[in-house]
């Protein structure tokens, strides 16, 4: 694909006097990877060619597409542009912007670093790479005066990166809570609608293509944890890595949990929660975690259905904001990639720099045990005098206060007359709540603890 | 307020080599207006001083605050900074970025133009000004190589401008539908919850401070029309002005309309709709309009409650996106203004330019009569043989096809035995549908047309 020169398309481009003395040759693009996302990126580059050049205020030209096996037949790409030599393509003098949509970590890390070190701006959609190595990549971008863009790495087409880095640049973020994994939202939403168990819903999701053959990264929350690391880093200007995120998936959620949540006016969502807290020593710290949470049916996140994603932001001046859309898929991801390509190419023409990966705040990471949370506990106790009083005393002795207690009679557990108790706590230290639950499990009064789920607020 | 120099605050700032040879003196800010928004802007400038300078990558300094009466007592601002000479402040050599939060059209227009012509970047929250004069202002910004920012002009803290101009810069927008006026959403939502009539709900909204003493601009849709003009211009890269927007308010919406909508699974929202259509001659054109519309209860816009705003975007590759938040108020508006100030100040240090007000597509404006719409018509007809057949024939002769017809017996209108008919049309030309309704009103078969509301889809 060759883009027309400005003259050929009849447009006139104005160039800002402050830009470097770069000549007006097209900004050269290298595309690394030609899978689901890469092929969509190329399709959009071609079909939106004219509009892209208007928005960039100058021409762009695709210089090559790097793939692992050039001999494989491919549609939609000129075979002369295809190469197996990714590094050679990156280092070409006429390549200015490198688009990385390969996936994985080590190989793209090497390529992205080489690109930045060679003075090329990089656009990546690779959440695992950014969540693991953003510090190294950001430093390289900084040292070599180029841009590192990764809008597509979090929630695909939902522009959370731009929103946190630019739109809210004058504000202070307090909390970000996101539904950032489509597979798990599809499963939880289906369980909520049908009352089915987790395993059968997962099977259905796999059949429909919403879950991969090996769904571990999604259902265990690892994918969401990568995004939580990136969101927390941006929101609080501190470095949070994938390994720093506490992570709990949805595999333990039962139909009974969903039913109990419904009765109480909640729905269960897998949330990535990033917030600024005050730690045990009274210092501010960042908490980044992924776990299932009870979301009130009145909350905007509750209505995010199917495989949609949404990110809810609480900011000091802006108040509550929510961004909703497709969090995955070739075309939505490619849309975000192309938005970044426009930004990177524009900066090559007009000068200027993308907002940086700032970590000036350097907030320490909170231990999950120190984070304030709230529990919704569903348990069966012996139906005898004094049980509730005992429980209340245990709570009080542990400094845990209850917001709501609901008791239902006439259950039977293993031949014992039982009462069902639902306890909703006020906010307390996560570790204190976890210890309280461990204590409940051991208690002679308690027949079973059937469900423990954190509340979102 | 004086911002510390980089040395004083212990930070080191790096400056890009491509930036102009501007010395490193602080970027000077002039604030025009000190009302609800202006005072919040100043509060945030002060309280977020250190973080702003990190994000800007250099220091900023407030040079003055222009007000109409400097003698009035004010809190939160150093009296020495206050001046009645807005023009003098703008033209000071040490002012680089002018923030306009005065309101009105003619006076701020003069000031903003003067600022742009003097080479100062401008941040404005003034939707009326932008909707009326964006072409003139954008031209001045272009000619003088400076930036014109107006994120706060549409839906306050919801970053729709950044999203349309940057995040979706690689995509093609098909349609933007927004709840962009908090007052009317509050009223419609309250009518929906309580079943009350429009007039009593408006009175309640006024009492609670959600509606102004003279609510005309809100309830007649004029405020939403300004935002529709701005959204349509950005989405379709064509110039749409306030006067180009077809506009219908909510004053005719009755409790009965709301009830009928509920029965059919809808809620009524005042929508600003911007879309690319194919006009009668087969050419693409832009439609920008504001009118009440039936929104399916399953649609994300339906759950936008109270005075919240939301903008729903349909894009070719990104798919459906929604942005939700506070669409008005001092702090949310100031948050958006400060985000723009960071962008403008950053460009002063690092070079580069904000995305421009591009109108390269130059799509013509569609006549409202040519726009494809759908009607939901609620009417009472004589309960006699052949009435439905007559109506169906009328539809067919006008090329209007019905998607759904529902009939209920046993009504009485002015002593006549009547049936209630609810007609839901397929998409047709707006003018054809309007003519069809006019014909119904005249028809001998029809006793009354009790409600006509367009569908959102």
- Catalytic (active-site) positions of B: 227
- B332–A322 CB contact, under 8 Å: no
Query: Which residues are registered as beta bridge partners of A309?
Result: A325
Helix, coil or strand: residue B358: coil
| In contact, A307 and A290? CB cutoff 8 Å | no
Q: How far is residue A268's CA from residue A288's CA, in Å, rounded to a whole number?
A: 19
Q: Which residues of A are catalytic?
A: 227
Torsion angle (degrees, nearest 10) of CA A127, A129, A135, A138: -80
All residues at 6 or more sequence positions from A374 whose CB lies less than 8 Å from its CB, including other chains:
A403, A424, A425, A426, A427, A428, A433, A454, A455, A457
If you ran DSSP here, which 8-state letter would residue B368 be given?
G
Q: Which of B11, B318, B323 is best to mutate for the A interface (most A CBs within 10 A)?
A: B318
Instruction: Tell me the shortest Cα–Cα distance from A439 to chain B, in angstroms.
Output: 41
CB atoms within 10 A of CB A216: 12
Compute φ and ψ for B121, nearest 5 degrees.
-75, 150
B299 min Cα distance to partner chain A (Å): 9
Four-point Cα dihedral A204, A206, A210, A213, nearest 10: 170
- Quick one: which H or E segment has residue B176? strand B173-179
Backbone angles phi, psi at A333, to 5 degrees: -65, -40
Provide, as residue numbers in chain B, all residues whose Cβ is less than 8 Å from the Cβ of A322.
322-325
* Tens of each residue's pLDDT in chain B, 457 residues: 443 333 333 333 333 433 443 457 899 999 999 999 999 999 999 999 999 999 999 999 999 999 999 999 999 999 999 999 999 999 999 999 999 999 999 999 999 999 999 999 999 999 999 999 999 999 999 999 999 999 999 999 999 999 999 999 999 999 999 999 999 999 999 999 999 999 999 999 999 999 999 999 999 999 999 999 999 999 999 999 999 999 999 999 999 999 999 999 999 999 999 999 998 788 999 999 999 999 999 999 999 999 999 999 999 999 999 999 999 999 999 999 999 999 999 999 999 999 999 999 999 999 999 999 999 999 999 988 888 888 888 899 998 999 999 888 777 778 888 999 999 999 999 999 999 999 999 999 999 999 999 999 7
Q: What was the pLDDT predicted at A23?
A: 52
Alpha-carbon distance B424 to B407, whole Å?
Answer: 12
The pairing of strands A266-278 and A284-296 is antiparallel
Mutate to test the interface with A, among B44, B146, B317, B352 (most CBs of A within 10 A): B317
Cβ contacts of A244 within 8 Å, gap of 6 or more? A229, A288, A365
Question: What is the torsion angle, in degrees rounded to the nearest 10, for the CA atoms of residue B38, residue B39, residue B40 and residue B43?
Answer: 130
Q: Identify the CA nearest to A178 among candidates A135, A229, A239, A254.
A: A229
The minimal CB distance from B338 to the residues A151, A170, A237 is found for A170
Q: Which of A18, A46, A123, A312 to mutate to test the interface with B (most CBs of B within 10 A)?
A: A18
> Nearest CA to CA, how far is A208 from chain B (Å)?
19
* Token reading at B413: 């209108």
Q: Taking the CA of residue A217 as centre, how many other CA atoms within 13 Å lie in the half-sphere pointing to its CB?
A: 13
- DSSP per-residue string spanning B234-246: HHHTS---GGGSE
pLDDT (tens, 9 = 90+) of chain A, 457 residues, equals: 443 333 333 333 333 433 443 457 899 999 999 999 999 999 999 999 999 999 999 999 999 999 999 999 999 999 999 999 999 999 999 999 999 999 999 999 999 999 999 999 999 999 999 999 999 999 999 999 999 999 999 999 999 999 999 999 999 999 999 999 999 999 999 999 999 999 999 999 999 999 999 999 999 999 999 999 999 999 999 999 999 999 999 999 999 999 999 999 999 999 999 999 998 788 999 999 999 999 999 999 999 999 999 999 999 999 999 999 999 999 999 999 999 999 999 999 999 999 999 999 999 999 999 999 999 999 999 988 888 888 888 889 998 999 999 888 777 778 888 999 999 999 999 999 999 999 999 999 999 999 999 999 7
Max CA-CA distance within chain B? 89
The answer to whether the Cβ–Cβ distance between B339 and A19 falls below 8 Å is no
B385: CB partners within 8 A, 6+ apart:
none
**Beta bridge partner(s), residue B412:** B417
User: Quick check: A369 and B200 in contact, CB under 8 A?
Assistant: no
For B147-167, the DSSP string reads -EE-GGGTTTTS-HHHIIIII
Closest alpha carbon within chain B to A337: B170
Min Cα separation A202/chain B (Å): 24
Which pairs with CB-CB distance under 8 Å and at least 24 residues apart come from A391-395? A391/A421, A391/A423, A391/A440, A391/A445, A394/A436, A394/A439, A394/A440, A394/A443, A395/A423, A395/A425, A395/A436
Enter the pTM of the model.
Answer: 0.92
Residues from chain B that touch A142, judged by Cβ atoms under 8 A, are 14
From the number of C-beta atoms within 10 Å of its C-beta (0-12, 13-18, 19+), residue A273 rates as buried
CB under 8 Å to B321, separation ≥6 — which residues? A157, A158, A323, A324, A325, A326, B163, B312, B313, B315
Find residue B238's DSSP bridge partners. none
- Taking contacts as CB-CB distances below 8 angstroms, the residues of chain B near A300 are 303, 324
- For the four alpha carbons of A286, A290, A295 and A298, in that order, the dihedral sign comes to positive
Contact A375, B69 (CB under 8 A): no
Cα end-to-end distance, chain A, whole Å:
51
Sort out which chain A residues have CB atoms less than 8 A from B343's CB and list them. 166, 169
Contact assignment for A319 to B339 by CB distance below 8 Å:
no
Nearest residue to A226 via CA among A269, A162, A272: A272
Contact present, B425 and B374 (Cβ < 8 Å): yes
According to the model, what pLDDT value does residue B193 have? 96
Do strands B284-296 and A266-278 pair parallel, antiparallel, or not at all (unpaired)?
A: unpaired
Maximum distance among all alpha carbons in chain A? Answer: 89
Burial class (CB in 10 A: 0-12, 13-18, 19+), A142: middle
Helix (H, G, I), strand (E, B) or coil at B426: coil
Tokens of B34: 């000190």
Instruction: Give me the numbers of helices (H) and strands (E) for chain A, helices first please.
Output: 14, 18
């Amino acid at each position: 694909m060759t883009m027309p020169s400005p003259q050929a398309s009849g447009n006139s481009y104005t160039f800002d006097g402050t830009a470097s003395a770069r000549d007006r040759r097209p900004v050269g693009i290298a595309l690394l990877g030609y899978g689901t996302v890469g092929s969509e990126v190329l399709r959009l580059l071609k079909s939106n060619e004219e509009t892209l050049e208007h928005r960039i205020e100058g021409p762009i030209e695709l210089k090559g597409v790097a793939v692992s096996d050039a001999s494989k037949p491919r549609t939609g790409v000129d075979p002369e542009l295809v190469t197996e030599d990714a590094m050679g393509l990156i280092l070409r003098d006429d390549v200015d912007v490198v688009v990385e949509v390969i996936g994985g970590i080590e190989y793209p890390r090497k390529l992205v670093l080489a690109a930045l070190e060679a003075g090329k701006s990089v656009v990546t959609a690779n959440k695992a790479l950014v969540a693991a190595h953003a510090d190294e990549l950001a430093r390289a971008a900084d040292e070599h005066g180029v841009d590192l863009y990764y809008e597509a790495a979090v929630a695909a087409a939902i522009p959370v990166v731009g929103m946190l880095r630019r739109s809210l640049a004058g504000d202070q973020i307090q909390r970000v809570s996101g539904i950032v994994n489509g597979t798990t939202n599809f499963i939880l939403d289906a369980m909520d609608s049908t009352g089915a168990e987790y395993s059968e819903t997962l099977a259905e999701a796999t059949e429909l293509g919403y879950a991969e053959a090996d769904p571990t990264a999604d259902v265990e929350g690892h994918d969401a944890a990568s995004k939580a690391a990136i969101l927390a880093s941006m929101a609080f200007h501190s470095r949070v890595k994938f390994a720093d995120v506490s992570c709990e998936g949805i595999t333990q959620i039962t139909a009974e949990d969903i039913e109990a949540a419904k009765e109480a006016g909640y729905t269960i969502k897998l949330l990535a929660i990033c917030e600024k807290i005050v730690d045990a020593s009274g210092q501010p710290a960042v908490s980044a975690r992924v776990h299932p949470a009870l979301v009130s049916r009145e909350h905007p996140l509750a209505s995010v259905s199917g495989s949609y994603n949404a990110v809810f932001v609480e900011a000091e001046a802006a108040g509550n904001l929510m961004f909703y859309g497709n969090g995955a898929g070739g075309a939505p991801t490619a849309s975000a990639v192309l938005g970044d390509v426009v930004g990177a190419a524009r900066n090559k023409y007009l000068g200027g720099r993308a907002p940086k990966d700032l970590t000036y705040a350097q907030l320490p990471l909170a231990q999950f045990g120190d984070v304030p949370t709230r529990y919704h506990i569903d348990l069966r106790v012996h139906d005898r005098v004094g049980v509730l009083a005992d429980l209340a005393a245990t709570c009080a002795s542990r400094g845990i206060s209850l917001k709501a207690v609901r008791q239902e009679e006439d259950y039977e557990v293993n031949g014992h007359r039982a009462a069902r108790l639902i306890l909703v706590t006020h906010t307390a230290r996560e570790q204190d709540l976890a210890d309280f639950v461990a204590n409940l499990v051991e208690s002679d009064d308690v027949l079973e603890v059937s469900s423990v789920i954190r509340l979102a607020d």
